[in-house]
Amino acid sequence: MIVYEDEASFRQTPTLYRTWARRGQQPQIPTRGERHTQKILGAVSVPTGDFVWRHQEEYFNAETYLSFVDGVLLPHYYRRRHRVYLIQDNASFHKKPGVLEFFAKHSRQIEVFSLPPYSPDFNATERLWHYTRKESTHNRYFDRPAALCQSLFATFADMQRHPEKICGLLVPFFKSTHVVLFIRGHVVFSVQCPVFSLQSSPNTDYGTPVTAVPPSPTSAPTGQSGSGSAAPSQTPPTRSPSRPRLSVRFRPQS
């Protein structure tokens, strides 16, 4: 089971977005000037679009994150002998000692991969937050925090009842790309549509950042290169044993 996780904050202050209006009349959205931020932890599986979430008012930290993973994410996605492969960003509380200890203790149920820093486009859940804002908060006035929560919760419930509405947002994460995660040159996680092939390494370095690697150039078969000589073999990069690295490679689907 491949699951993307992320956190998002939604303010009571309305967000502006493009919309229809009479020519020469700019739409205006009233506001109370109050933030009253609502914080949401969410996760979605690909390619099914199965979405789970939790609402909280306090700040994100290691305790609230682990409470979501242990109390919502794992019970919902984990099935016996079917490990959850969790892909997430590099938030500081994702790498706290207590969090890493939890993942090491539950390595049979869940394995974690961290995305490159500052790369929200690689996280499928980010697309759901954008969808939520379009459906729930853009160009809308909320007179109280409860009204904002009602709008958010209604959108989340609709996403859970009708995952087909968000499956189109997830297509780039399982259909149009071939994703390979590898440690020390050994493939540990491979996804290619329409068949998902997962291989796990017992020596996963939890919390290790993922680095984006450009696609490998396509080489001619041995003995059929343009110059008539054999093309050099493509060997995976070697890594120092003392510094395990986790990287991700995106290649167009053939």
Distance, CA of 99 to CA of 221 (rounded, Å): 46
Among 126-140, 203-217, 230-244, the minimum mean pLDDT is found in: 203-217
* Mode of pairing for the β-strands spanning 177-183 and 186-192: antiparallel
Q: Looking at domain 2-14+33-173, which of 3.40.50.20, 3.30.420.10, 3.40.50.2000, 3.40.309.10 is its CATH number?
A: 3.30.420.10
**pLDDT number for residue 188:** 45
Query: Mind listing the pLDDT tens digit for each residue in 26-50?
Result: 777 777 777 789 999 999 999 899 9
15 falls in which pLDDT band (50, 70, 90)? Answer: confident
Strand partners, 138: 15
As a whole number, the mean pLDDT across the chain is 76
Of 12, 141, 14, 156, the C-alpha closest to 72 is: 156
Query: Mind listing the pLDDT tens digit for each residue in 154-185?
Result: 999 999 999 999 998 998 887 644 444 444 44
pTM value surpassing 0.95: no
pLDDT at residue 1 tops 90: no
Could you please report the per-residue DSSP string of 88-138?
A: E---GGGG-HHHHHHHHHTTTTEEEEEPPTT-GGG-HHHHHHHHHHHHHTB
Distance, CA of 225 to CA of 102 (rounded, Å): 50
Domain residue limits, the chain? 2-14+33-173, 178-252
Query: Mind listing the pLDDT tens digit for each residue in 59-117?
Result: 999 999 999 999 999 999 999 888 999 999 999 999 999 999 999 999 999 999 999 88
Of 150, 136, 145, the C-alpha closest to 17 is: 136
| Phi, psi for residue 105 in degrees, rounded to 5 | -70, -35
Burial class from Cβ neighbours inside 10 Å (0-12, 13-18, 19+) for residue 148 reads buried
For residue 79, the 8-state DSSP code is B
